[in-house]
Structure 1
Amino acid sequence: MKLLLWPALLALTLPGLSLGVSTQDHAQAVLKFGPRVAGSAGNEQARSYLEAQFRALGYQTRRETFAYPRFDDLGSDVRVGEQLLTGNALQNSGGGEVTAPVVRVPGVGTPADFARVDVRGRVAVVERGQIPFIEKTRAALAAGAVGVVIVNNSAGDFRGTLGERVDVPVLGVSPTVGAALKDGQPVTLRVRVREGNVQAVNLIAFKAGVDKPDVLFGAHLDSAPGAPGANDNLSGSLAVLDLARRAANTPLSARSYFLLFDGEEDGLLGSRAFVKDNPDMVKGLKGMMNLDMVGVNVSSLSIRGEAPLVEAAQRAGVSASVDTASSSDQVPFRQAGVPTLFFNRGLDANYHQPGDTLLDPALVEQAAEAAFKIANEVLKMAPLK
């Protein structure tokens, strides 16, 4: 882990800073940077912009860096005649390009299914489901296939992992693309992948002198590949910024940390790194509140978590329920014994898609207001033992 403390004068030297800038203005500014995949230029540009906004509110900031290996799909597809059909390389797939006839494999891709067809020197097309991707792929390789296409068993694309490295290209496609791959038809399967380490960064905002916060507000700033990430999760990140604004001149600011996590889309890696690297701070927290996808009203705002914070919410007049089923950046904190709350409005239609370009500032601010009210009740709670 590497700590970088940025000087307070930074906020005075960066352009475009204003305490009167609206949530909508912030959203438009950040979305211009494009998708915020961890390790990308857009990710860093968004973080630097929001860091400046925290500092304009009177907060200090610190960056905590961490690294992890990642498999990146650089653009993979299958060509049928003049038609180019896109898909997603499965993690651990080999890269490369092969041209060969298609063989549609019956069943779900067990060895017995492959025994019913001849896939030697061909591209095996098999349906998703029932058995792991790696078992389908092993069976294809054992039967002599030079490439594998796995067709989703529900609408749309999918991303997946094999769990172990293989030497042939393996592509996941939608049912629509799968239907275009006819038995015996020549295709060119192209899988372009890159494996390497990602340098990721968590951003922390806090008031000078605060090293033992009682409350931590968090959201992940990174987005999925190809997705501008307006709702997932610029909405949560801007809610954390709005919380910092609301708290700036109140006692809450001197007892809180405001975090924008990196690497959530790759497996909650930013929050896991923070918990691992700050055990004493985490141990002393009365509560952690995580905001993820709060800018599109798929359903009313859902606030769920452990009993101590649910009870604090009820005392604040905010509806909340006991539930620990959700997977987001609150999970590593909960696993470390910290009471958590998860703020979410449901899975919208543009989740992880290029169409994730819109958020409703009013909904973002409503989520921030609810968290602010709850946090002030959490401050009254006795310290954790």
Structure 2
Amino acid sequence: MEKIKESIVRHMKVLCEEIGARATGSKANTQAVQYAAETLERLGYEVTLQEFPCIDWQNRGAQLKIDGQALEVEVAEYAAPCEDSGELVFAETLEQLRNLNATNKLCVIYGELCKEPLMPKSMTFWNPEEHQAIIRELEEQKPSAVITVSFLSEVAVPIIQDGDFDIPCATVKGKYLPTLLQGKQAELTLDTERRQTTAANVIATFGQGKKVSFSAHIDTKPTTPGALDNASGTAALLVLAERLAKTEETFQKEIVLFNGEDYYSMPGEMTFMNQSLTVPEEYLWAVNVDGIGMKDSKTSYSFYACSELFEQRFERFAVDNDEFEKTEPWPMGDHMLFAGAGIPAIALTSSKITTLMEMVMHTPKDNLSIVDYERIAETVCFLDQAVETFTEE
């Protein structure tokens, strides 16, 4: 176990400290992909880099003035650049937005329109009509820029994060809503850039026969080292791959490091689905690892597209591992790619990960200080033993 933990620490320090934030399309993301690919090649895996087009988004900051007074503001991820000034207009509901004359004005949306992040235009897995209606109305109104007001008072939660939304967009903390509503004129500068580039998934295979797939996403949001989300999952699979390469099985082992789970349109996942999941019968089952290794938390597992017999077999195996517990399905994450294709899938994450979602995940706070390497090492052993147990049965 100690050697496993040492390997995990080494991989995570490379990913989180030497490389850092690994946003899809960035130079750091390419470095992470190359590091993982070279690691897997040295272990004897056949490695493919599955490329796809994307945006390398650069953010150099934002400035906002309301009636000449500076107000704290943040750029919405993937926002187009702007340097605008003009009249402020406001909408709290979709009806108000439809009746607004926002053309060439700075449009502030809040309340019902900002009660949750809106799905990107190209998101096909889940995109509520309500979200689509808000985006359509904004595009029809053609404001010079959009300012969204967070539903949290002290956190500027971005409501629009979409590289296909071409109206410049900024976000402010909820506590600034009264200041905005009193304003008449605004000046907004977003110093951003969208560069067309390519990125790649890492797909590594070992052996012959039907596949058992182990996946994690290697990318992060632009401003986080992504220790739990998801260097822990990536490191676990790199160490697991080493252990699996030492055993002979009757099936093919597949390691998939998705690139784009934290990118607005999930391009890596879409590419994998369209190019690699065309014959679901090639797969026996799949495991996705995302968010493991949180301090003071057990590791949870959940089932998707699994038969009752499969679940019973897995639970019978897991019952002897005290640090693992079953949880209800969460239908967001890369495991849904496999489940959607009818492939039995298991998702592993930290049981208490939801407590970090609003204040830690996708921020600089998601760093190595909140990681329990012992939990990650246990996950590696758990998956290694699961493969052996299921093979025997």
Q: Same fold by TM (over 0.5)?
A: yes
What is the TM-score when the length of structure 1 is the normalising length? Answer: 0.78
Q: Are 1:288 and 2:286 matched, yes or no?
A: yes
Q: Offset at 1:351?
A: 0.5
Alignment correspondent of 2:38: 52
Q: Offset at 1:200?
A: 1.9
One-letter amino acid matched to 1:334: A
Question: Does the CA-based 8 Å contact 1:313-1:377 persist in structure 2?
Answer: no
Alignment correspondent of 2:339: 334
Q: Are 1:74 and 2:59 matched, yes or no?
A: yes
Point out which structure has higher relative CO (alpha carbons under 8 A, 6+ apart).
2
Q: Offset at 1:276?
A: 2.5
Instruction: Give CA-to-partner distance per residue, 1:293-346, whole Å, 9 cap, x none.
Output: 102146421100134443232232345547543311111111111100000012
1:218-233 equivalences in 2 (<5 Å): 218-233=215-230
User: Alignment partner of 1:172: what SS?
Assistant: strand
User: Alignment partner of 1:379: what SS?
Assistant: helix
Aligned residues: 356
1:95-244 equivalences in 2 (<5 Å): 95-103=81-89, 105=90, 107-108=92-93, 110-111=95-96, 122-130=105-113, 132=131, 135=134, 138=137, 142=141, 146-155=144-153, 156-161=155-160, 168-181=167-180, 183-184=182-183, 186-195=185-194, 197-207=196-206, 210-244=207-241
Of the three residues 296, 299, 302, the one matched with 2:300 is 302
Instruction: Give CA-to-partner distance per residue, 1:171-208, whole Å, 9 cap, x none.
Output: 2322134454352354321234544544121212333x
Inter-CA distance 302–135: structure 2 relative to 1 (3 Å threshold): same
Of the three residues 367, 371, 375, the one matched with 2:383 is 371
Instruction: Give CA-to-partner distance per residue, 1:47-69, whole Å, 9 cap, x none.
Output: 2223333344x322412323244
Q: Are 1:86 and 2:73 matched, yes or no?
A: yes
Inter-CA distance 73–101: structure 2 relative to 1 (3 Å threshold): farther
One-letter amino acid matched to 1:246: R
Q: Offset at 1:234?
A: 0.3
The structure with more radius of gyration: 1
Q: Which has the higher helix share?
A: 2
Q: Offset at 1:265?
A: 1.5
Tell me how far apart the structure 2 counterparts of residues 138 and 187 of structure 1 sit (CA, whole Å).
22
| Structure 2: runs of 5+ lacking an equivalent | 114-129
Question: Does the CA-based 8 Å contact 1:74-1:192 persist in structure 2?
Answer: yes
Tell me how far apart the structure 2 counterparts of residues 177 and 147 of structure 1 sit (CA, whole Å).
18
Question: Does the CA-based 8 Å contact 1:310-1:321 persist in structure 2?
Answer: no
| Structure 1: runs of 5+ lacking an equivalent | 1-17
Identity %: 20
Tell me how far apart the structure 2 counterparts of residues 112 and 276 of structure 1 sit (CA, whole Å).
37
Question: Does the CA-based 8 Å contact 2:98-2:137 persist in structure 1?
Answer: no
Tell me how far apart the structure 2 counterparts of residues 238 and 338 of structure 1 sit (CA, whole Å).
24
Question: Does the CA-based 8 Å contact 2:50-2:203 persist in structure 1?
Answer: no
Aligned residues: CA RMSD: 3.5
Alignment correspondent of 1:357: 367
Tell me how far apart the structure 2 counterparts of residues 162 and 37 of structure 1 sit (CA, whole Å).
14
